[in-house]
Structures are given as C-alpha cells and as structure tokens.
Structure 1
Amino acid sequence: MQPFRLLRPNLARLRRSIAVGLTLVAAAAPVMAQSQQRSVSLIRDAEIEQLLRDYAAPIFRAAGINAGGTKIILINDRAFNAFVADGKSIFVNIGVLMDAATPNEVIGVLAHESGHLAGGHLARLRQEMQNAQILSIAGLLVGVGGVVAGARSGGSAIGNAGVGAMGAIAGPQELVRRSLLAYQRSEEQAADRAAVRFLSVAGMSAKGMLTVFRRFAENSAFLSKAIDPYTLSHPMPSERIAQLETLAKQSPHFDKLDPPALQARHELMRAKLMGFVERDAGVARRYGMADQSMAARYARAISDYRSGRMAQALAAMDRLIGEQPKNAYFLELKGQALLEAGRAREAVPVLRQAVALAPQAGLIRQMLGHALQQTGDKALLDEAIRELSNAAAREPDSAEVHQHLSNAYAAKGNIAMAELSAARHAFAKGDWTVAHTQASRALAKLPQGSPAALRARDIVEYVPPDKQQ
C-alpha cells in the first residue's frame, strides 16, 4: 500500500459518471462523432489532495459550493485538462499540476470548473442533449417519410426522392449537433465569467487563469485557421483570451502573487509527481544534481526509493525530515519506503508521527493500520483495527482499506466483521456478486439491528445499476 497510489477504478461506474462532462479544453479540434476509449487510472495521494482542497476552498466559498460534498479527483494523464462530472466532482489530469508553474494557474482551472458546478451546467447540458435527441429523431422521421413517399411514387422518382430524403435525414441532425455545440460554447463562456468573479470575491488573481488559456491559444493557433468555429464545443481561443483579459484586468487583485509558502508547497507537489510518474532519466533532466532545492531533493529521494536505492533514499528522506520535522508527508514517504521494504516494525513509529501531524488524512491512517498489521504482532491488532476503521470512515470508497481491515479482523478471530469488510472491499471494486455473498454471510452472524448488521443489509439489498428498472 502506498500514500501515492495508482488505482484502476470501477470503469463501468466511472464511465457512467463522466459520460456527460464539461471539459476545460478541446477548443483546438472539433467534436468528433466517435472517440477511442482509453483505460483510465486514478491517483490517490494525501499531500496532493490536501493541497488541491486548500486551493479550492476560497473558490468554493465564493461560489457557494459545498466543499464537503465536492471531490477533486486526480487522473493519471499528462494532458493539460480538467472537467466536471456528476455535478459534484472535478476531475483534474496530473498534467495540469505538473505543467502549472504557480498555484494561481491551478486555482484558475479549479475556478473555471467551479463555474460549471455552480451554474448547474451539467444538468442543463443533459437536458439539452435530451432535447437534441428528440429533435434528431423528429428530423429522422421526416426524412424517412420522404423515402417512403418516394418509394410509393414509383419509377425514377424513387432515386430522386431517396437523394432528397437522405439530405432531409442528415440536415436536421447536423443542425441539432451545431445547436448543441453552440449551447456548450455559451456555457464555457459563462464558466469563464463566473471563474473571474469567484476569484475576485476570494481576493485572488485571475492572472493564472489567463496564463493557462493563453497557453491553450498558442498550442492551437496553427489549427484554428482550418477549423469551422461552429463545430467546436469551446469558444475560439483568440476570442476567449480577449474576453478573459478584459474581465481579469478589471479585478483589483490582478497583480497579486501567491504566498511564498503556498508556492513552496506547489513545487513539492510537482516534484512528488515527477518522482513517482517519471523514470530516473526524466527526474534527472528536470532536477539535476546541481539543483539542491527542497523540491529537487524530494523528487530524487522518491526516484531513488522507486529504483531500489533504499539506503540512499532513506538518507535523503531523513535530511528532509530534519529540515521540516513537522511535515507529515515527508514522514509518510519514509513510512511507505520502510513498509514496502518489509520493515513494517520500523515504519510504525514513523507513520504514527505522520498521523499525529495530519490526523484528518485517511490515507495515512490506512497505511499506519496496514503497517501495524504487517508486523505480525497480535498485541498491535487492536490498534491496527482502530486505525483502519478510522480510515474506512474517512475513505469509504477505498477498496484497499476494507481489504486490510478484513485481514485484521480475521487475524483477530472476528469472522463476522472480516466478512463484512470483505463485502465492502468487493462493493468498492464493483464486484456486486462477491459483495452480496460476503454481506449475507456476515449478516447471519452479526447482532440483529447493530450498525454493522445494518451496513451488511444495505449491501445485500443493493441493486446494481445494470439490474435497475
């Protein structure tokens, strides 16, 4: 188990969630009728997620968005993109974080996506798509009617009528498509305006947002002359920049800089991503040995640990901890390295310190619970169950925490709770059959009416989406 984790999510659930989404980018190319599906992987990391929550908090307050009910989800994709889905989630590619030079650039991205959430754009887009479907069907029926009429007229009129009818079929569908795209462009412009307003209310600059869109404009400039603007889901880059620049410069906070402490955390976040997702050579190119900044040493320590240079990695981690002894994430990293090296007993005190410094971080508690369990010391099982239960309450959708909890309960001899945790593990993975079986077994053993029994019954009675009427 790692604090920085690459996850393969329940793809069916994720695809349902993002089937309709409003993206930050896509203006450089027209919307295509078909798209090639790629595998999706998510990244979980306590440090990065906390930083993004800190970035988003003032924006969410200004927008009236419930921060507790809104997730920011990291996607393992180097493309610079972000989008909203399901009305309560913002998906951010790691490319946004790795390419953004300042916190303000990421904050601008989050402000734009918050504009979609606060404006209810996703719900209205679904309605527009339903309306478009109805119009498209109506147009199709008109075209089919033309074909039938031509067939009944007989003779050479059939061919002429058929050609005309095919135009009648294609024409309304193209009109509907362009109408829907026009709607999406208007919502993108509305999200831009809302983002600038939120940033101003929060006392933050919109310069980073402007920087991001200028980058998009530069990258897509060579394509824009050959594109029909009416086939885009986003405004043309030049138009977008002009509107944003006018709005952004009206704010009294336009020239406000990010606090140095926040910039330092941003650099550590970027270094962590580089250390985990790039090979040694990539880390070396980005952070040469001459670079002795904390961020560079953080990236190299991670790279050393991932490449098996454990003594060198631990020495670097100890130096970082010596400089910032209250940095929970430096301690977390050392705990991870020790745990994965089979040194769970050494990892436990380090992770206890990390939890004490970041008690709200469920992912760190999850690692501590796993380390306690991995020591093989039965005297530590109660503490392991306590930490894992705490983590499960904070991270109910984490399949991994329920798996560790099931193992801990089994080692303790509590078979009913082991089966319930196994059911929750399967449920989090989307394996409804196993979840139902394990929950049924647990329910037969748990005290009737207990919280655990009620949770087991919820799983037993759950109807998967593909089985719902």
Structure 2
Amino acid sequence: MPDRQPAQPRTAPRTGLPRRIAAAALALVLAVTTGSPQPAAAQGQPKLPIVRDAETEALLKDYMTPVLKAAGLAKQNVEVTLINDRNFNAFVADGRRIFVFLGTLVEAKNPNEVIGVLAHETGHIAGGHLARMRQQLAAAQTVSIVAFLLSLGAVAAGAASGSARDTNLGGALGGIMTGPQEMIRRSLLSYQRGEEQAADRAAITYLHATHQSPKGMLDTFRRLSDQSLFISRGVDPYTLSHPLPRERISQLEELVAKSPYKDARDPAELQLRHDLMRAKIIGYFDRADTVARRYPLSDTSLPARYARAISAYRFKQVREAIAQIDGLIATQPNNPYFHELKGQALLESARPAEAIAPLRRAVALAPNANLIRIMLGQALVATGDKAHAEEAIRELSRALTRETLAADGYRQLAIAYGRKGDIANADLASAQAAFAGGEFQTARHLAARAKTRFANGSPGWLKADDIENYKPPKLDGRS
C-alpha cells in the first residue's frame, strides 16, 4: 500500500450515493489499482528462518541435478533453500528457488520421497505456473474493479429511484460485491488446483526420464492425505487450492502403476547420505534426550554415531564429541563433513588453532563447499596470528565470490585485511558485510571512506562506489 492514502475529492461524484460511501468507494478503487505489497520484513513479519549447511545443500543439489536436466532447466541455476521448520512442506516463491522445510527431510525415509517433492516443485517452475498465477491475479483484479464499479451503478440506481434507504446502502453494496468476489476466488482456486495436478504429472515425467520411481512421491502424498483427511470431509471442493487428497492419490496411483520404474530403488550410497543428513538435522536441532532416544547407544550405525557426536558437541561435551568424531573419520576418512564437524567443534570451543587442520582437510575433500571455506577463514582469523592473515584472505575471498551475501564472511575478511594493514580493503569488506546484512546506511558510510583510500577507478574503488550509490527499493514498491 502507498505510504498515505490519496486525497479524497471535496465533493462526491454525482451518483446519488452519500459522500461517505462514494469517498470510501474511491479510496478502495485507488488502493486496488495503485497499491503494491510490501516486503514481509517491512510489514513487521519475521524473516524466513533460513538454514545453511554444506552437506545438506550438496545432497539436495545431487537430488535436483537430473530432475532439472529432464525438465530443461539445467542452465537456470535453480537453488534449494532450507527453512528451519519441522513441518512437512515445500514451495516455490519465484522461478529459481525451491524452499524446503527441514521437517520434509527428516520425515522422508528415503531419497526418492524428497526427489518426488522436488520434482513436483520443479514442475511448477518449468510450467511457468508462478508467472501465469500473477496474470490470473491481475485479471482477477481487473474483474474485481469492474464488478465493484458495476455494483456502485446498481446501488446508485436504487438510491436514485428512492428504493434504497441510506441505512441499507452498506448492506446492499456488500451483498452485491459478495457474488463477484466469491466467483473470482473460486476461479482462482480452481486454476491453482489445475496447476497442482499439472505439476504432479510433470514430476512423474521427470522421474521417468531419470529412471527413478514415482513411488516415493505417492508415499509422500499418501502421508499428507492421512494427515489432512479429517479436514477434507464435508468441505466444498471448490474452496480448496489443492485437489482433494482422495482425488490426488487416486490419480497418482494410476500413474505409478503404469510406471516402468515403480520398483526402482535408491542406490545404497545415496540412501546412506540421506540417512546421515537426517541424523545431522536431528543432532543439531533436537534435545539431547530426544537424540538419545532416537539413536540409542545400541544403534552402532554410522548415522546414529553421527547424531550422537553432534549432540555431544552441542551440549558442551567436547572431549567426548571429538573422540566420537575421530571414530567417524576413521570409518570414512574421505568424508569432508566429518572433518568439518571436528573443525567446527574445536573452533566453537575456543580452540581455533586446532580447528585449522581438519577444516583444511574438509576443504581439500570438498573444494566447492564455500561454507566450509568460510569457516576455515574464520578459524585462521580467530588464532590472532598475523602469519595466517594471507591464507585467511585467500580462502575468504575465494568463497565470497560465490557466497556474496555471507555477511559473517565479509566481517572475517575485514579483520584479516586489517591485521595485514590493508585498511582500504578492510573498509571495503566492512561495507560489503553491512550491505549483505541490509544495513545500507552503514554500508554507504564505510564505502565512502573506502573510496578515499583506493585509486580512482580501481577495482576496489568501483566496488565501493557501487555500494555508496546503491538505492534500495522503496517499501511501497515505487522506484
């Protein structure tokens, strides 16, 4: 919505309507035609609780790659973003990001179930459903405005004939508007149900193309159907945005029965990675007693040992945790995430010098894991040793070329530059940290100071100039 309402006319239009109703009508039409939604943060809404983890992101990328290729989206740079919520859910917010709740990963018993969810969301992206939904909403808005204006004419005619008393106009207006608005709502919901069904069918196509079973997708929707069955009983199907569970399950059962890959199984190595990911989430986010119940000492599997080691480190049993992590490394010496865990446990226990070696090993084993590279840079900086400044700058700079919004990484880079005596780049990194954190005024101030230390037109000067002259979009959507 705009910051303030447009000025109201001094006299009401000649429609026979009382001024208070005509003014309210004009205000509503103007709000519908000129208003624009504000970002969630601007409306006082909490930001999405995004979770970053190199291991989980790498696994989901491996899940997504063949699906995106089958959908013709291999070059679209579609990313999966993790949300710290233990519900089973996933959604698409734009044409390049799929949001997945941690609960989806924990509840999914095998990779195929998660891949089915990702394939469905990919179907929305490949089908252009978001763009078409925006067109539907725009069309609905136009119809709403026209219907509203027509209803004004109807009420005005009644008022002019004397058949509508002033006290009844509000009710008449509301009653006339209810019909068109309800039809528009049902039309949009019906359209969305059609898109959900289209995404289901697209997902089956992608799974067939990659020789994967659609059974995991069916199992997922069956579970969701069981959870929502009580909701759908007695509900008007035209008021639901998704197909009714029984209809959706029936359609998927038919498609799965015809699939030549319905009995295909996930590779054992992929299943183990999936189980390790689930154990990691549980180890990091659940209470110690919950972890102990889910993964008792009698369970000697690698995922169980992983979860217990993480839980021990989280709850300050560092010596025990390190011993358990060393056991994990002995079992899988080339698993970069076991080395990462050891480095993180040591770093967060104020032992950064000891954390460097396992983090270096983790980076060597997973050179594209920029989050681990940033942690290595943090450990190098945390030692306070000037001899590590150059390596810290190298590692952090390399990681930040991809992780451009990692504010903590820029802060560590600023410290490393400062320790080296490079004040110009220290100011620039501080400005980048503030910018990545959305602190634009602070970022501009630091960038302006950095510009005075760089040669005019140099790469550093240009980066600082971009930050200083950046103008964030207005909260009301106007430029």
Normalised TM-score (structure 2): 0.88
* Equivalent pair of 2:40/2:46 in contact (CA under 8 Å): no
Secondary structure of the structure 1 residue equivalent to 2:100: strand
Partner of 2:235: 227
User: Is 1:390 matched up with 2:390?
Assistant: no
Deviation at 1:353? 0.6
Partner of 1:264: 272
In structure 2, the CA distance between the partners of 1:146 and 1:166, relative to structure 1 (3 Å rule), is farther
In structure 2, the CA distance between the partners of 1:429 and 1:36, relative to structure 1 (3 Å rule), is closer
Q: Distance in 1 between matches of 2:39 and 2:253?
A: 36
Partner of 2:331: 323
Secondary structure of the structure 1 residue equivalent to 2:374: helix
Q: Distance in 1 between matches of 2:38 and 2:346?
A: 36
Describe the superposition over 1:210-259 as per-residue Cα deviations: whole angstroms up to 9, x where unpaired: 10001111111112113111111111111111111212222211110000
Q: Distance in 2 between matches of 1:15 and 1:327?
A: 44
Q: Distance in 2 between matches of 1:425 and 1:324?
A: 36
In structure 2, the CA distance between the partners of 1:254 and 1:39, relative to structure 1 (3 Å rule), is same
Q: Choose which of 437, 444, 448 in structure 2 pairs with 1:436.
A: 444
Query: May I ask how many residue pairs the two structures share in their alignment?
Result: 441
Alignment of 1:326-341 (within 5 A): 326-341=334-349
**Unaligned ranges ≥5, structure 2:** 1-36
Alignment of 1:52-91 (within 5 A): 52-66=60-74, 69-91=77-99
Q: Choose which of 131, 134, 137 in structure 1 pairs with 2:145.
A: 137
* Equivalent pair of 1:18/1:85 in contact (CA under 8 Å): no
Alignment of 1:298-309 (within 5 A): 298-309=306-317
Q: Distance in 2 between matches of 1:17 and 1:449?
A: 37
Moved more, 435-444 or 389-398: 435-444
**Unaligned ranges ≥5, structure 1:** 1-13, 20-34
User: Is 1:210 matched up with 2:214?
Assistant: no
Deviation at 1:159? 5.5
Describe the superposition over 1:291-320 as per-residue Cα deviations: whole angstroms up to 9, x where unpaired: 111100100000000000111100000000
User: Is 1:92 matched up with 2:100?
Assistant: yes
Alignment of 1:12-23 (within 5 A): 16=39
Structure 1: which amino acid aligns with 2:349? Answer: A
Q: Distance in 1 between matches of 2:239 and 2:97?
A: 27
In structure 2, the CA distance between the partners of 1:162 and 1:380, relative to structure 1 (3 Å rule), is closer
Q: Distance in 2 between matches of 1:401 and 1:362?
A: 10
In structure 2, the CA distance between the partners of 1:108 and 1:18, relative to structure 1 (3 Å rule), is farther
- Point out the structure with max Rg over C-alpha: 2
Describe the superposition over 1:367-412 as per-residue Cα deviations: whole angstroms up to 9, x where unpaired: 0011011111101100000000011012111111111111111121
Secondary structure of the structure 2 residue equivalent to 1:69: coil
* Equivalent pair of 2:116/2:214 in contact (CA under 8 Å): yes
Deviation at 1:446? 1.6
Moved more, 457-466 or 364-373: 457-466
Q: Choose which of 167, 172, 175 in structure 2 pairs with 1:167.
A: 175
Deviation at 1:154? 3.1
In structure 2, the CA distance between the partners of 1:392 and 1:205, relative to structure 1 (3 Å rule), is same
Structure 2: which amino acid aligns with 1:191? Answer: A
Higher relative contact order (CA 8 A, sep 6+): 1
For the aligned residue pairs, the C-alpha RMSD in angstroms reads 2.1
Moved more, 413-422 or 152-161: 152-161
User: Is 1:196 matched up with 2:191?
Assistant: no
